Amino acid sequence: MMDGTARIMLAEALFPLTALITTGYLTRRLGPEGYGLLALTLTTIIWIESAIVSFFAKATIKFVGESTDWRPLGSTIIRLSFLAGSAAMLLLWMLAAPIGTILHEPKLAFYLRIGAIDIPILCAGQAYRSVLIGAAKFGGSALARAARWVCRLCIVVLLVEAGLSIAGALLGVIGSSFVELAVSRWYLGVKRPASRPRTGLPIRQYGTMLFVSSLCLIAYNGMDLFMLKVLGGTAAQSGIYGAAQSLSLLPGLFAWTFSSLLLATLSRLLAEHAQERARELVRDAMRVTLWLLPVAAIIAGAASDIVQAVFGPAFVSAAPLLSVLVVGAVANVMMMVGITIMTAAGMPAKTVLFTAPLVPLAFVGHLLVIPQWGAQGAALVTLGVSFVGASAGVAGVHAMWNVWPPSGTLVRCGVVALAAGAASMLWPTPGLVVFVKLIVLGMGCLLTYWGIGEFRHAEIAAVRALLLRKREPVAVT
């Protein structure tokens, strides 16, 4: 699991780097209003894609991980994912105009129809990726993601520079999804099975519950931007809020990667009836999540410097939004870990029980707070609901496994986060020097964890072995 996490996180590490460059470029070229339209378009597309992917992804990882022959199941899931994505694309083409009218942006319909092309391509690519992770082919998954992020940056800049503006940015996203699909397909090499998989019924049962659960998560996570626009916000305000959201994605990036590998590993342990090892893994998963607290504190403390370095002076009002949203993003990681553990334990219905109340809670909160507090109110509501979800997830895991996040880790991470956040706030760093500060403070947190004994000797030895491991020479005959 550590090896797989390292491989995929190295690939995913390209995302914040390329995303910062891409977002900084687009905000300067499109301005707050143009970037606001792009943010509304991509948020809508991502909502739909995430809903479809959620129906298949975790169930696929779980059952492929438990299967001795994953090819029939994997091939079927890939085909169904593409068909579902194609149906969603056609539906969005028909609903694009009404959506633009509701959001008071008629031009949005044109961009939604372009962005809809990405849905079936991405859904098929994510299905391949779920099969790769479930089959423990982490190298292929990492390679596909790395290709996606690099190609997205290159294609977006190329097309926008060619004069295609917002449409060019959307076409760049579509092109990167196609690259990820092609690399995943080449690496996995799944052919159409001769017969249907026997595990189709469990996949449908898990998929339905996880689909509903993910819809709830998607709805409350993206509700703030849309409620801000519906309740009177301008396209420029949406662009500023969307920019802050894009910079708070780092914890969420870790959440998807870590939760997917946690699901695959935990499912194997439970299938092998290794209950004690599974219980230890559950405790360590929550422990690792707490390590992200200093990351949020560092970003929150440097929010003003980061926003000005990436987006420019026109987006300076995104800084206080980023400070709030990045803390909520860490809370979401804990909630995702809890949901993943419930899924691996064979209780997908409980994921709905813990996520469904978040939607009305967020809706009522935004309805009451946004008219008075605007974008800052939307961010605070999102933060509050995220903490409610994280608390519910931790309580659910404790009820199932009698496991709490280690109190010692919570205290140590809290102290390190306060110190790192204060240092980040008090250390002014103009321009791109802010990224040097982020790296230095991040390394400082790791060294502090090591110095106060947060890392176990076995973990240090495992990391050292992973870094120093060399491939054995292949014998030539």
For residue 406, give its domain range.
229-468
Indicate whether 474 belongs to any domain: no
- What mean pLDDT is predicted for residues 305-330? 86
**What mean pLDDT is reported for the chain?**
81
- What mean pLDDT is predicted for residues 137-157? 83
- Pair 155, 274 in one domain: no
CA distances from 260 to 50, 341, 452 (A): 14, 10, 30
Helix axes 319-344, 275-290, angle to 10 degrees: 180
pLDDT the model gives residue 25: 85
Indicate whether 435 belongs to any domain: yes
- Pair 180, 242 in one domain: no
- What mean pLDDT is predicted for residues 347-356? 80
Among 199-213, 229-243, 461-475, name the most confident range: 229-243
Which of 150, 176, 198 is the last residue before a domain boundary? 198
Which of 198, 213, 247 is the last residue before a domain boundary? 198
Indicate whether 21 belongs to any domain: yes
- Pair 140, 37 in one domain: yes
Indicate whether 207 belongs to any domain: no
- Pair 169, 252 in one domain: no
Question: How far does Cα 54 stand from its chain's mean position?
Answer: 12
- Pair 299, 382 in one domain: yes
Q: Are 378 and 370 in contact (CB under 8 A)?
A: yes
- What mean pLDDT is predicted for residues 214-234? 80
- What mean pLDDT is predicted for residues 265-291? 81
- Pair 302, 446 in one domain: yes
- Pair 180, 260 in one domain: no
pLDDT the model gives residue 30: 85
For the chain, how many structural domains are there in total?
2
Query: Percent of the chain, pLDDT > 70?
Result: 83
Phi-psi domain of 104 (left: phi exceeds 0; alpha: psi -120 through 50; beta: other): left
- Pair 90, 146 in one domain: yes
Burial 293-302 (b: 16+ CB within 10 A, else e): bbbbbbbbbb
Calculate the dihedral angle through the C-alpha atoms of 336, 341, 346, 347, rounding to the nearest 10 degrees.
-50
Res. 440 pLDDT band, cuts 50 70 90: very high
Which of 198, 218, 253 is the last residue before a domain boundary? 198
DSSP string for 275-293: HHHHHHHHHHHHHHHHTTH
Per-residue pLDDT reduced to its tens digit, 385-430: 999 988 988 888 888 878 888 888 889 999 999 999 999 999 888 7
Per-residue pLDDT reduced to its tens digit, 14-58: 666 777 788 778 888 888 788 888 888 988 898 888 778 877 777
Is 50 exceeded by the pLDDT of residue 476? no
- Pair 190, 243 in one domain: no
CA geometry: angle 211, 392, 203, nearest 5 deg: 25
- What mean pLDDT is predicted for residues 135-159? 82
pLDDT the model gives residue 110: 93
Res. 200 pLDDT band, cuts 50 70 90: very low
Indicate whether 120 belongs to any domain: yes
- Pair 82, 151 in one domain: yes
Res. 309 pLDDT band, cuts 50 70 90: confident
In 3-state terms the chain splits into helix, strand, coil percentages (rounded to 5) of 85, 0, 15
Indicate whether 220 belongs to any domain: no
What is the largest distance, in Å, between two alpha-carbon atoms of the chain? 76
- Pair 175, 276 in one domain: no
Helix ranges (H only) for 103-164 are 108-115, 118-134, 138-159
Is 60 exceeded by the pLDDT of residue 281? yes
- Pair 118, 252 in one domain: no
Rg, Å, the chain Cα set: 22
Tokens coding 315: 């987006």
Indicate whether 217 belongs to any domain: no
Indicate whether 477 belongs to any domain: no
Query: Percent of the chain, pLDDT > 90?
Result: 18
pLDDT the model gives residue 9: 58
